Structure 1
């Protein structure tokens, strides 16, 4: 499409020679861009393209902010991120991402708001839910999720446009309390049995791994973990109530 656009622009300014030059230039740019970008769709329709490399850097940038949120850098959290990236993208590609990231953070400060705003525009809602799950997984890698880490992820969730009830649902997957199962299903303890069943069907549909088929294997496995937590929450409530 770019070749025809530049051909028209070239014709308007330089007639036929300009059209030919614009077509050739556009063809070169189309070839350069081909295979280097991936289209993500949001619930609001088609969105601009974003390169996989940029997506990986954005994800790593958010991960670094969560790791530093409580004032200390946990080796177990760092190891989790590296293992996740290696699993998702392969060792060579992961190492290259870390190398570029290290160069980037030396030059400019990471802005969670800017990154999340970009991801909000260019990713599907279910992908953003998976990003939150990934960030909570990092925070819990050292055995506990601290309050500063929760606050940092909550701030990112707001920038990502994630609804508060969905944030609380994912958060509840990493905390054990008497109401965790209900929070995962986004209902309260006073819900009727029928409401519990409806909530389970709704959440199972929302967190179904099939919604993440456009992402890499590691992200899809994260989706399977969310789906499993929904099933476990439902089974726990059924057992408590004798349904």
Structure 2
């Protein structure tokens, strides 16, 4: 396909922004630094020729705040990261992760598949104690008339975005999510990455972070969390092109990302 053909197709496509807005006060986990922002130079403080001025600002945040992707080194088991890498050898306070960090994550350009949990169960939002397992994935694929193929990016909707940006409601415990046999189902299909509209992807409480271990450590499958999947669900879009490029932060255990879904007209 030529570049002109691609551009023509894009011009007729529907574009969905799957990222949540970043602003002071948005939900963040108790072990993650909150999003902080300040305008540090206002217009008019420095004025150039012809009355021109510029404003600048600064922000800080944890790498697992807002819509973000977990690097493979986010979780370890028995002291090992993905591929058997020693966590102790790879990590340092000054440099982060020399291996399996966010800087090693390639941009995601893949066929996206939306698994709509509330639609499957006839609700607006999943209950806090709902788990999403292999049977749920099978039933959702059948109901939505699709299949998950190797290289796909599978995004799971729970409806949890309705609680954003209420910190206590969004970060509730328990919270719905994928359970172990669901993670195994995804891994067996060779997916490129996974994601969800919750803060943990897996069902909370998550004893031993089993789903994260299965996906990140054992199978090298990155996890995108805190997605906004409502517009896709509202429009009945279940397959699309997903484009997501994590910030290339050397050594980071995760990185902010602004995923885009491109759907047929």
Q: Which has the higher strand share?
A: 2
Q: Which has the higher helix share?
A: 1
Q: What is the TM-score normalised by the length of structure 2? A: 0.25
Q: What is the TM-score normalised by the length of structure 1? A: 0.27
* Structure with the greater alpha carbon radius of gyration: 1
